[in-house]
């Protein structure tokens, strides 16, 4: 407990910055996440059909001469320079266009939607084509900048005449304004933004190349591993490593950058150490966490285990560095991002020539982080047992949820299933004025919780207008009000009731909270 408590003030000082970074990370994730199937499809097609793939196919892989006899007529081709100085028509294939056009355009569309809905998505996509054809490197970074920017411009333009249009002209004005903004942004991106982003991409690529040339790539883990535990991994992973990795795949056919953050090895080692050398609830929970982490690819389940003994971050860093170093030595990498960071996703995206290196990087990083964590746990084991620190996992889960900025389904389902802390600590009943119906509903639920012998759950009532995402883990409101409540607290879980006096929903909530409480109680018992 002492370690967690002493870490808390530092955290709250940097809290605003951290929340901003997390919001930024969440925005980046919102652009990448919906399109991961496309990344995966590209990864699979690349792994199969490129010239060094499992089923090399010159038409799909885009490396065959379409002028030779027996060519597949009608397929898209491009003129390329042969080694002897002549030109020939080469198949365009799927791999190149997917990474050059499909993925950035999808990202731009998602980013535009986040800013300004469907309309923002369309304008973002138009504008992003400008940056794609205005440069020679894959425009992931460009799409992430130009897409939201174009949608934002559209939003500004729309607000100019919002509600002031003559009826009957809306459609005409809306169509042409989007076309003009999209077209203009596309041209602006071609001439103005593409060179800048190309330059930035080159610099970032140069930094990575410099790190690689000097054998310093493993140092990335010093930043990445602590950032993961503080839930800043999305900003780093999706914002920097995935775009750079994709660029490397185009140039080298694979990239180890995809594995820097996604390698499940370091977390596995720490959980294994807890399984063998931990005490109390942490020890009994670790095996379940291992499964969720390693197979499910949900890394956040190991963060609480690090937070309850922050010095373990050393184990994570050592493991991460080992993994990167292994891939450097073997020249191994993935052909696309492994998301989630499950061993299955990692193997599915492994380059054909890289199985040995990639598997070794996972195994070795797990081994190293296990050894370091084992030494740390071993050294403090007697003291932990004496201090009865077995209940700390609940506090650490709470800390993890605080770091994430909201409660986590993965964390709570894990701890719920395997027995430590409760996911729902604060329940808010929301009604219009916050003085009547919500107060009664809160009273009824409080009573039900009390009768079920559940303690430590705060149930309060509020006016809908005063709700925000920090207010509660769960918001209960009347059916007609739930939509409004959701607008005020979009990331919180909401449930609707028809009848505040005796809703079946109450029993569900009591059962859910009760199950996790009971498990937590069992975990805390000496």
Partner 1 sequence: MSEVLARAACRAEGTARTYEEAIREAGALLVEGGAVEPAYVEAMLERERTMTTFMGNGLAIPHGTLDATDQIRRSAISVVRYAEPLDWKGSPVRVVVGIAGVDGQHLEVLSRIALVFADTEQAQRVADAGTTDELYDLLAGVNA
Cβ 367 to partner 1 shortest distance, Å: 57
CB closer to partner 1 out of 388 and 436: 436
Residue 449 CA to residue 164 CA, distance in Å, equals 53
CA dihedral in degrees (431, 437, 442, 443; nearest 10)? 160
Helix (H, G, I), strand (E, B) or coil at 333: coil
Q: Determine how β-strand 474-478 pairs with β-strand 458-463.
A: unpaired
DSSP assignment, residue 65? B
Phi-psi region of 241 (alpha: psi -120 to 50; beta: other; left: phi over 0): alpha
Burial annotation 196-232 (CB, 10 A radius, 16+ → b, else e): ebbeebeeebeebeebeeeeebbebbeebbebbbbbb
Among the listed residues 262, 382, 256, 364, the one whose alpha carbon sits nearest the alpha carbon of residue 318:
364
477 binds partner 1 (CB under 8 A): no
User: Under 8 Å CB-to-CB from 38, ≥6 apart: which residues?
Assistant: 98, 102, 103, 106
Member of 170, 480, 507, 508 binding partner 1 (CB under 8 A): 480
Number of H helices, E strands in the chain: 23, 6
332 binds partner 1 (CB under 8 A): no
463 binds partner 1 (CB under 8 A): yes
425, two tokens: 């600590």
Residue 127 CA to residue 144 CA, distance in Å, equals 11
Among the listed residues 284, 360, 295, 355, the one whose alpha carbon sits nearest the alpha carbon of residue 323:
360
189 binds partner 1 (CB under 8 A): no
478 binds partner 1 (CB under 8 A): yes
Selected range binding partner 1 among 50-58, 182-190, 350-358, 476-484, rule: CB under 8 A: 476-484
CB closer to partner 1 out of 170 and 447: 447
Member of 325, 500, 513, 516 binding partner 1 (CB under 8 A): 500
Selected range binding partner 1 among 40-48, 107-115, 250-258, 459-467, rule: CB under 8 A: 459-467
Q: Determine how β-strand 87-91 pairs with β-strand 77-81.
A: antiparallel
282 binds partner 1 (CB under 8 A): no
511 binds partner 1 (CB under 8 A): no
How many residues contact partner 1, by CB under 8 A?
Answer: 26
379 binds partner 1 (CB under 8 A): no
Which of these is catalytic: 131, 325, 431, 485?
431
Selected range binding partner 1 among 49-57, 184-192, 343-351, 460-468, rule: CB under 8 A: 460-468
> What Cα–Cα distance (Å) separates residue 329 from each residue in 218, 326, 333, 349?
11, 5, 11, 19
Member of 355, 502, 504, 507 binding partner 1 (CB under 8 A): 502
CB closer to partner 1 out of 325 and 442: 442
Residue 52 CA to residue 56 CA, distance in Å, equals 6
483 binds partner 1 (CB under 8 A): no
Among the listed residues 371, 372, 396, the one whose alpha carbon sits nearest the alpha carbon of residue 280:
396
Site string for partner 1, 418-447 (x = CB under 8 A): --------------xxxxxx-xxxxxx-xx
CB closer to partner 1 out of 270 and 481: 481
Task: Give the DSSP H or E segment for 181.
Answer: helix 170-188
505 binds partner 1 (CB under 8 A): no
350 binds partner 1 (CB under 8 A): no
487 binds partner 1 (CB under 8 A): no
DSSP assignment, residue 55? S
CB closer to partner 1 out of 305 and 506: 506
Residue 445 CA to residue 266 CA, distance in Å, equals 42
Cβ 502 to partner 1 shortest distance, Å: 6
CB closer to partner 1 out of 348 and 444: 444
109 binds partner 1 (CB under 8 A): no
Selected range binding partner 1 among 77-85, 171-179, 413-421, 458-466, rule: CB under 8 A: 458-466
Residue 78 CA to residue 66 CA, distance in Å, equals 9
CB closer to partner 1 out of 440 and 515: 440
14 binds partner 1 (CB under 8 A): no
CB closer to partner 1 out of 407 and 477: 477
Among the listed residues 193, 229, 381, 244, the one whose alpha carbon sits nearest the alpha carbon of residue 301:
229
89 binds partner 1 (CB under 8 A): no
Member of 220, 279, 481, 510 binding partner 1 (CB under 8 A): 481
375 binds partner 1 (CB under 8 A): no
356 binds partner 1 (CB under 8 A): no
CB closer to partner 1 out of 447 and 468: 447
Among the listed residues 186, 101, 201, 96, the one whose alpha carbon sits nearest the alpha carbon of residue 146:
186
Is 461 within 8 Å of 445 (Cβ atoms)?
no
Residue 154 CA to residue 43 CA, distance in Å, equals 33
Active site (annotated) includes residue 351: no
235 binds partner 1 (CB under 8 A): no
Point out the residues that are catalytic.
431
- List interacting residues with partner 1 (CB under 8 A): 432-437, 439-444, 446-447, 461, 463, 465, 478, 480-481, 498-503
């Amino acid at each position: 407990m002492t370690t967690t408590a002493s870490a808390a003030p530092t955290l709250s000082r940097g809290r605003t910055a951290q929340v901003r970074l997390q919001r930024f990370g969440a925005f980046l994730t919102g652009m990448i996440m919906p399109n991961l199937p496309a990344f995966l499809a590209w990864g699979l097609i690349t792994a199969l059909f490129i010239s060094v793939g499992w089923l090399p196919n010159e038409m799909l892989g885009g490396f065959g001469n379409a002028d030779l006899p027996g060519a597949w007529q009608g397929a898209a081709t491009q003129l390329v320079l042969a080694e002897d100085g002549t030109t020939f028509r080469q198949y365009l294939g799927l791999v190149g266009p997917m990474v050059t056009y499909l993925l950035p355009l999808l990202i731009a569309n998602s980013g535009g939607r986040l800013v300004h809905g469907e309309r923002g998505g369309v304008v973002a996509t138009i504008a992003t084509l400008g940056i794609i054809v205005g440069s020679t490197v894959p425009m992931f970074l460009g799409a992430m900048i130009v897409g939201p920017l174009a949608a934002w411009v559209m939003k500004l333009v729309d607000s100019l005449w919002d509600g002031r249009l003559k009826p009957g002209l809306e459609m005409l004005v809306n169509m042409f304004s989007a076309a003009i903004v999209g077209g203009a942004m596309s041209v602006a991106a071609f001439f103005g933004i593409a060179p800048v982003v190309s330059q930035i991409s080159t610099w970032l690529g140069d930094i990575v190349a410099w790190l690689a040339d000097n054998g310093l790539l493993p140092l990335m883990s010093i930043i990445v591993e602590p950032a993961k535990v503080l839930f800043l991994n999305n900003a780093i992973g999706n914002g920097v490593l995935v775009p750079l990795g994709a660029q490397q795949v185009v140039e080298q056919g694979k990239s180890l950058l995809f594995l820097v953050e996604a390698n499940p090895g370091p977390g596995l080692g720490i959980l294994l150490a807890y399984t063998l050398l931990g005490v109390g609830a942490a020890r009994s929970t670790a095996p379940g966490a291992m499964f969720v982490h390693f197979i499910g690819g949900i890394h956040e389940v190991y963060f609480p285990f690090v937070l309850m003994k922050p010095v373990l971050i050393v184990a994570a860093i050592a493991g991460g560095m080992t993994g990167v170093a292994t891939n450097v030595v073997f020249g191994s990498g993935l052909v696309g991002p492994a998301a989630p960071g499950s061993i299955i996703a990692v193997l599915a995206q492994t380059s054909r020539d890289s199985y040995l290196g990639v598997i070794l990087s996972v195994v070795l990083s797990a081994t190293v982080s296990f050894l370091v964590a084992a030494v740390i746990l071993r050294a403090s084991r007697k003291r932990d047992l004496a201090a009865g620190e077995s209940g700390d996992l609940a506090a650490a889960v709470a800390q993890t949820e605080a770091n994430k900025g909201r409660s986590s389904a993965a964390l709570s389902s894990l701890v719920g299933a395997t027995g430590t802390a409760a996911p729902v600590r604060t329940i808010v009943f929301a009604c219009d004025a916050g003085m009547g119906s919500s107060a009664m509903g809160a009273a009824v639920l409080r009573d039900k919780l009390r009768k079920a012998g559940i303690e430590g759950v705060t149930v309060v009532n509020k006016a809908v207008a005063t709700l925000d995402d920090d207010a509660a883990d769960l918001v209960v409101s009347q059916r007609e009000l739930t939509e409004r409540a959701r607008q005020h607290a979009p990331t919180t879980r909401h449930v609707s009731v028809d009848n505040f006096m005796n809703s079946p929903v109450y029993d569900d909530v009591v059962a859910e909270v009760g199950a996790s409480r009971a498990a937590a109680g069992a975990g805390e018992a000496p």
